[in-house]
Amino acid sequence: MKRQLFIFFILITFLFPGAKVSLAKLVWSKETGWTNPDLLPKETADQKFRYAITLMVNKEYISAIGMFKGIIEGNPESELAEESQINIGRAYYMVGDYKNAFRAYERLIERDPGTRKLKEVLEKEFQVGITQMKVDEKGAIKVFEKIIERNPLGFIAADAQVKIADSYYQLRRFEEAQDSYLRVMENYPNSEWVPYAQFRIPYCKMSNIRIQERNYELLAQSRRGFEEYIANNPQGTLVPTTKKIIAEIDIAMAERDYEVGEFYLRRKRPDAGAIYFESVIKEYPNTEWAAKAKGKLEMLRKVGAVK
């Protein structure tokens, strides 16, 4: 069709050189086909809708919003009003006004909670939330929470709960992120997101450690969580990453126990120091600190400080 139209205009230009033909004005949409927006009639609601669609195609989003609003005001109960409301949300989304995009979609649901377009609208709201996560995590959380409120066991509810947790993590609110991942497991136990949530819970604890300056209790808890993830998902895609994290945790824990052993040696308590060195060797045998602990124990035994 496009090629035929192009050839048609070439022929006109060639046969009638004085004719003024502007391809720049033509836009295409499934509602209107190829057309010049300025030549479209704008009397009926249907004609106004088609004109608004051409404005959208032409990226004149603000003008399109005004036209769609006029259609809704004049025909509030029509199918065109519903389609116009959806397009208002899309237009706001395209200009980066995510708050008004979300409000536009919500207005449609509020007007007709049982709308046959509920799934489509919730999908569009979800996309608003995903995009908003890049610039406004708090705003995104509100969007995802509303999606769950609208349809708590719906097709997209588990996805929304995961994104709430991810948003809290981006905000470095690790405890709230952890609780949100836990809700994924509790409220959507059959969701494909459960293994991911199970991995992220200990990951949140480990991330929290950086703020709390090596809270070793949290470190131990996160390690147990990662071990639980591997036990429940031995073939999971995150298993290699999890094993690397566990190895890093072991190094940190081994270093801590080794330093405690050194502390007791400085306090002239070789017996207590030896307990920690032995713990390093037993609990973290694959770390460099285990080798150092062995050296310390050999030295203590050589000088007769311990048996």
Is the pLDDT score of 270 beyond 80?
A: yes
If you average pLDDT over residues 211-226, what whole number do you get? 78
Residue 251 near residue 287 (C-beta atoms within 8 A): yes
**Tokens representing 94?**
């395209």
* Residue 261 is assigned to a structural domain of this protein: yes
Is the pLDDT score of 97 beyond 90?
A: yes
* Residue 24 is assigned to a structural domain of this protein: no
Q: How many domains does one find in the chain?
A: 1
The sign of the torsion formed by the CA atoms of 208, 210, 215, 216 equals positive
pTM of the model: 0.73
The sign of the torsion formed by the CA atoms of 23, 25, 29, 32 equals negative
Q: Which residues pair with 29 in a beta bridge?
A: 33
> What is the reported pLDDT for 14?
43
* Residue 23 is assigned to a structural domain of this protein: no
> What is the reported pLDDT for 11?
40
**Tokens representing 86?**
């959806």
In percent, the amount of the chain with pLDDT more than 90 equals 62
* Residue 265 is assigned to a structural domain of this protein: yes
> What is the reported pLDDT for 39?
53
* Residue 114 is assigned to a structural domain of this protein: no
Residue 7 three-state SS: helix
* Residue 266 is assigned to a structural domain of this protein: yes
* Residue 292 is assigned to a structural domain of this protein: yes
* Residue 214 is assigned to a structural domain of this protein: no
Residue 45 near residue 74 (C-beta atoms within 8 A): yes
> What is the reported pLDDT for 205?
86
> Can you give the residue range of the structural domain that contains 307?
253-307
Is the pLDDT score of 21 beyond 50?
A: no
Residues 129-183 have pLDDT tens digits of 999 999 999 999 999 999 999 999 888 999 999 999 999 999 999 999 999 999 9
